[in-house]
Amino acid sequence: MAAAVPGALPVAVPVAGEGSEGRVVVAVVGPTATGKSDLGLALAERLGGEVVNVDAMQLYRGMDIGTAKLAVAERRGIPHHQLDVLDVDEDASVARYQRDARADLAGISARGARGVVVGGSGLYVRALLDKLTFPGVDPAVRARLEERAEKHGTRHLHDELARLDPAAAIAIGPANTRRIVRALEVIEITGQPYTANLPEQVYVVPAVQIGLDCDRAVLDERVDRRVDRMWEQGLVEEVLGLLTRGMGRTAARAVGYAEVIALVRGEGDEADARAAVAGNTRRLARKQMTWFGRDQRVHWLDARDPDLVARALEIVAAADRGDLEPGPEPRRTLGA
């Protein structure tokens, strides 16, 4: 059993289930467009649960169509947490999410309900469920690093990171300026390698992760249909409205939004934008599968299984009893 960490929920907060069984937190994870929201709703209905969103872009008010956010009428009366909690001009913070979402889980448990975590933002899932602390920030250090990146280029900072923390440099890669800057900031603030602050695969609450996998060709078709629906529902109009409110950097970079912003600015035509949204969504799905595929604690199910809900409930029941067997090696159909 993991020790508590600052801001974490108590590790052992059993809620009575059948007999002497406790209730684990259920997390439905995996790539976009695999049906996580539908499975999460079904499990919450059957398990007396409340949903905690763990999709970083669904934190934003008004970012509804492009994130495939469930409308209130589609939530079947089930309470949802961590939806519509940020304005689009704010930058999302994993540390703030961790604090607030863990408080939500504690409240759900206190009400005798079960937490059902749903989403595909990998780091946010780890921050919510796992032992993970966040070093502070230093605006002056960050500003200095960002100025150096602007002046000398991202590669210059990546070379420095490679000297100070080779493992972090490999993991982040040479193109992600924001994460390179953050890694160097943490190193300067803490005097430790950035990798020393990475999450441990140790739950801070009893939990089980259920991952949804999907055949690559089938998922590509699902993505195409989703993009078509987004356009029909008014994605371009949604983005135009958000731009008048002043979208911050984080919101404006979201898949589905960045491409429409480029369209609005005259970069290509509508067909180009639609193709870009579909292509970038597929790439996002593969990245998500790679991320979650590395976590051996995830129990994978086929998103197309007609008995999907029943199989997921079997996994939850075994986790509640404490006799859940390790799942098979992940298929990695999308992460290959």
The residue whose two tokens read 């996994």 is 315
With DSSP H G I counted as helix, E B as strand and the rest as coil, what are the percentages for the chain, rounded to 5?
Answer: 50, 10, 40
**Binding-site entries:** 30-37
Q: CA-to-CA distance for 307 and 294, rounded, in angstroms?
A: 25
Q: CA-to-CA distance for 203 and 130, rounded, in angstroms?
A: 4
**Binding-site entries for ATP:** 30-37
8 Å CB contact between 281 and 227: yes
**Binding-site entries for substrate:** 32-37
Helices (H) and strands (E) in the chain, counts: 13, 8
Element at 335 (helix H, strand E) = none
115 φ, ψ (degrees, to nearest 5)? -80, 130
Q: CA-to-CA distance for 152 and 156, rounded, in angstroms?
A: 6
Q: CA-to-CA distance for 300 and 30, rounded, in angstroms?
A: 9
